[in-house]
Amino acid sequence: MIWYPYEQMKHMKQPYKIVDANGVYLYTKDQKLIDSVSSWWCMIHGYKHPELTAAIKEQADHFSHVMLGGLTHEPAERLAQKLQDILPGDLNYCFFSDSGSVAVEVALKMALQYYMNRGDKKRTKVLALTHAYHGDTFKTMEVGDDEDYHFVLEAYGPKQNAINIPTEISALEKAFHQYHAELNCFIVEPLLQGAGGMRMYDISFLKRARELCDQYGVLLIFDEVATGFGRTGNRFVADLVQPDILVLGKALVGGYIGHAATVANQKVFDGFYSDDDRHALMHGPTFMGNALACSVALKSIEIFEREHYMEKIKKIEAISHRELDDFHDERIKEIRIMGGCACIEVYDPAVLEGYQEFAYKHGVFSRPFLSYLYSMVPYIITEEELVQVFSTMKAWFQQ
């Protein structure tokens, strides 16, 4: 049987069984649902997009997969080149992997080894944010800060190699002052912290982080697995402040096949480029550079650019403000909106119990967690459909 994620299997509610999907809609055998969370935030073009499906089929007629160890192929080469072309500055060196968590692991390994390769073995610590979520593998759990996901780490006692600070400049300056000689990197979900509660913060924090990283020789990592490709209303937050390592996943492939990329700048790459074999990056997921994933990623980026997705996201943001800004209820703590993400935070998580079933009846698939009722809609959503998502949220409070 399937062991489902994040669920107590003993009293888990039966999941909705999807029999078809098209555009923003998921279909069960008796209901049609707007997917208001884009299948964990990745399905930006919606389901069954004819061009994306065709890209996969076309590549499958040649080969679905070959390893990148000792072999290479055109879809991987073209995707690496495309990312080099569209990413800012000298973020030019692309390491592929099969999921966001693994891509973050790779980024953290790069940062550690960057200093090891220079003979500096003291920089063992990672600076990260409170409420950070970077994945569910062990190192990503360690740098993350979310008891609800990662309480199992308590077994190891206090963290040895990660420090978590709030998104406040004073805390940032203090941490750099105190720990700079031991830090190899500072990793953030830039501007929007997703699984930690759709928390939004100001770009000034990242600008100051860039300055401090430069001052103390610490690498800056942006985990844009969730924010990349428009979610914050910026194409990449890296367009505003440039990190040394950028991690992409989820929307990279339009949500169609699990894949991710860890993209390093010249300085990081140079730290590995030497006559010493021990300076090589010793990592190689079996499915890195999967040909189907690279082909669909290329098509996804083409559509993103051609169909002016940034304008679509601006419109989603404007409608979100129009629909939610004046909405009040005493149980609501805060309403936050940024780009293609909207979040209603309530004081008491019990307030959201039963919302999923309520939304189902209203033709919306939603997955609130803890105190957060949120939307991360596919960018192709129409105004009418988006209004339906928000009307359903509001109706829950008004019944």
For CA atoms 195, 199, 205, 207, the dihedral sign is positive
Backbone phi, then psi, for 232, in 5-degree steps? -85, 0
**35, 145, 146, 223: the active-site residue:** 223
**25, 93, 133, 201: the active-site residue:** 133
**250, 256, 309, 374: the active-site residue:** 250
**4, 6, 156, 273: the active-site residue:** 6
Edge to edge, the sheet with strand 20-22 lists 20-22, 25-27, 32-35, 364-365
Min dist CB 316 to ligand PLP, Å, is 19
Binding residues (CB under 6 A) for ligand PLP: these are 99-101, 104, 133-135, 189, 194-195, 223, 225-226, 249
223 is catalytic: yes
329 is catalytic: no
Min dist CB 201 to ligand PLP, Å, is 14
Residue nearest to ligand PLP (CB): 100
Burial 20-35 (b: 16+ CB within 10 A, else e): ebebbbbbeeeeebbb
Which residue's CB is nearer to ligand PLP, number 35 or number 189? Answer: 189
Which residue's CB is nearer to ligand PLP, number 223 or number 385? Answer: 223
Min dist CB 99 to ligand PLP, Å, is 4
| Local structure of 364: helix, strand or coil | strand
Rounded to a whole number of angstroms, the CA Rg of the chain reads 21
Min dist CB 306 to ligand PLP, Å, is 26
**Is residue 342 packed enough to be buried (19+ CB in 10 Å), middle (13-18) or exposed (0-12)?**
buried
Sorted by sequence, the CB contacts under 8 Å of residue 335 that are 6+ apart come out as: 324, 325, 327, 342, 343, 344, 345
Backbone phi, then psi, for 10, in 5-degree steps? -65, -40
Residues labelled catalytic: 6, 133, 223, 250
